[in-house]
Chain A
Amino acid sequence: MLKEISRKNAVHIMLVYTGGCNGCDIEVVNAVMSPFYDLEQYKVMLTWNPREADILAVTGPVTRKMEPALKEIYAAIPEPKLVAAIGTCAIIGGPYANLGGDLGSSDQIVGGVNKVIPVDAYIPGCPPRPEDILQAVASVIPILAGKR
């Protein structure tokens, strides 16, 4: 009872950029930091410490160099935790995994975030609008509250 209410009322979100093109990053920053969208009024607060976080927002395709870091960061977050993959690159790897000329698609990226860590929410768009990000974050909070 208190558990669900408290989880609904205070959520910490952590951002990890895994090497995307910045487009999603700035829209996430817009959603989190700009007074226009202001994620904090929905009881979601920004943190940079994995130990404090509940939701891990990942943008960009996971590059090979970022893969171990992302895994470690995910492991550092105590349960219950959710992962939101923001943007097409974070979902399926975007153009880097799916487009290619003579040499095929890029082998510098592992692919979407779900190839590295389990993902709970997918927010498509290139980049998604801040409104979409707000809506998605607001809609995963009940899932977080319902966890063990």
Chain B
Amino acid sequence: MADTDRKDRAEVEVPMGMVHSALLEPFRIRLFVDDEVVVDAEITYDTAHRGIERIMEGMPIQKGLILTERICGICSHIHIWNGTRMVERGLGIDVPQRAHHIRVIGNELERLHSHLLYLGHAFEILGHETFSMRCFMVREPVQNILFVLSGNRVHYTIPVLGGIRPRADISHEKRQTMFSMIDKLETDLREFAARVLNDPFIVSRIKEIGYLSKEDAVKYGALGPNMRASGIDFDWRYKLPEYRDHFDFEVIVRDGGTVLDRVACRVFECLESIKIIRQALETLPDEDPTNVDFELGAMGYSTSYNEAARGEIYDSCALDEVGRIRSYINRTPSMSSLSAMEVSCIGDHLTDASITIASCDPCLTCTNRMTVVDEKKGTNYVMEPEDVLRLARRV
């Protein structure tokens, strides 16, 4: 039977969410099933919309940058780094190489903890509580390293315009501590990765489900590890001078496009991240990490791309003459990755569909920022379906 036939035949809808054990964040999934096989899916994510771009309008840029960190608690460093990087690019601020190194360390640690959280969550969805627990056991040292580095476990706030915050500077003792912690982490992680990727039950659950072909990955815009697991070799880290010129690492690309590939891709990326962190700690230049010699002022439209744990992140804004934010835009990878998952979960069993959707590592709090500006009233609001209806009637 052709696939399109089944798509039309869907008679049963199973809605999931917004409060659900498989979803760490509030969003709504509607799965259309034939028996228990998913034939169509709709993922709606507007429940976590908080209007952060809107409240940043007209805020001093330093304050706004800290607020970008509150877009997401998992990928907090990349938001503030990319925002800072964008402003530095726009205003032409020189950043010392030491600061770049420490920012990279922050980003790679964040990638580690994000990927490990992803794995822990994935095992929880698979129903394998033991591996989930062990994953969190491996993850906890990463949080401790971040705590040692920056003094906070979740919102570390390492970058500041022109460099890094003094508390996140890496002294000699801190460096030694981090080295020893990373050695321990690497042994644990390798052991765990070998155990997981060779477990017959786990592999039988996640192989051959959630297939995303290379064409679909391009068409629906899967990003980051989801894209690389489908065989597309692209990573912003290859293009950024912070990474490209100083570190030697591999980008993991797999051809399978299934959930297993997406999981394996992240496991191997973790090991690459450890490699980068170690290189950065070894080659840390000895200089003042912060350049305070710059003037804030009017800035035209500036942009910056970067590679977050989930894929490409994009920030752009302009500054007015006293350094206040004008039209901040932030685009995160989960939005297009999720729409790719809408396609890839078709044909799976219902239980497999939830792991497929989770396998793109959706980060909804990053994603929910679409607003409509009503110029007459001067207010913003999320486009509710009722509003769409009303607009449609008006026209």
Q: Do chains A and B touch in the complex (CB under 8 A)?
A: yes
B59 touches A101 (CB 8 A): yes
Q: Give the distance to chain B from A55, nearest Cβ to Cβ, in Å.
A: 15
B55 touches A103 (CB 8 A): yes
- Chain B contacts for A73, CB-based, 8 A: 19
Take A69-B19, A73-B19, A107-B380 as given contacts and tell me if A22 and B363 are in contact as well, using a CB distance cutoff of 8 Å. Answer: yes
B70 touches A127 (CB 8 A): no
CB of B171 closer than 8 Å to a CB of A: no
CB of B96 closer than 8 Å to a CB of A: no
We find that the number of chain A residues with CB closer than 8 angstroms to chain B is 44
- Chain A contacts for B21, CB-based, 8 A: 48
The 8 Å CB contact of A25, one of B25, B140, B368, is: B25
Take A33-B120, A66-B18 as given contacts and tell me if A107 and B24 are in contact as well, using a CB distance cutoff of 8 Å. Answer: no
- Chain A contacts for B74, CB-based, 8 A: 22-23, 26
CB of B47 closer than 8 Å to a CB of A: yes
CB of B52 closer than 8 Å to a CB of A: yes
- Chain B contacts for A10, CB-based, 8 A: none
The 8 Å CB contact of A63, one of B49, B120, B325, B378, is: B49
Q: Give the distance to chain A from B131, nearest Cβ to Cβ, in Å.
A: 12
CB of A20 closer than 8 Å to a CB of B: yes
Q: Which residue of A lies closest to B22 (CB)?
A: A48
The 8 Å CB contact of A65, one of B49, B51, B140, is: B49
- Chain A contacts for B26, CB-based, 8 A: 17-19, 65-66, 69
Inter-chain CA distance A102–B380, complex, in Å, is: 12
- Chain A contacts for B117, CB-based, 8 A: 26, 29
Inter-chain CA distance A20–B120, complex, in Å, is: 20
Take A19-B26, A36-B137, A103-B58 as given contacts and tell me if A127 and B73 are in contact as well, using a CB distance cutoff of 8 Å. Answer: yes
CB of B189 closer than 8 Å to a CB of A: no
CB-contacts of B353-394 with A (<8 A): 363, 365, 368, 378-382
The 8 Å CB contact of A108, one of B50, B72, B153, is: B50
A20 touches B67 (CB 8 A): no
Q: Which residue of A lies closest to B130 (CB)?
A: A35
B71 touches A21 (CB 8 A): yes
B136 touches A101 (CB 8 A): no
A63 touches B47 (CB 8 A): yes
Q: Give the distance to chain B from A45, nearest Cβ to Cβ, in Å.
A: 12
Inter-chain CA distance A95–B380, complex, in Å, is: 17
Inter-chain CA distance A107–B120, complex, in Å, is: 34
The 8 Å CB contact of B70, one of A21, A34, A63, is: A21
CB of B20 closer than 8 Å to a CB of A: yes
The 8 Å CB contact of A30, one of B18, B25, B50, B140, is: B140
- Chain B contacts for A21, CB-based, 8 A: 70-73, 76, 365
B124 touches A95 (CB 8 A): no
Take A21-B365, A26-B73 as given contacts and tell me if A65 and B25 are in contact as well, using a CB distance cutoff of 8 Å. Answer: no
B67 touches A108 (CB 8 A): no
Q: Which residue of B lies closest to A104 (CB)?
A: B55
Interface centre among B20, B51, B76 (most CB of A within 10 A): B51
CB of A96 closer than 8 Å to a CB of B: yes
- Chain A contacts for B52, CB-based, 8 A: 96, 106
A-B contact pairs, 5 of them (CB 8 A): A23-B76, A26-B154, A33-B124, A101-B324, A108-B54
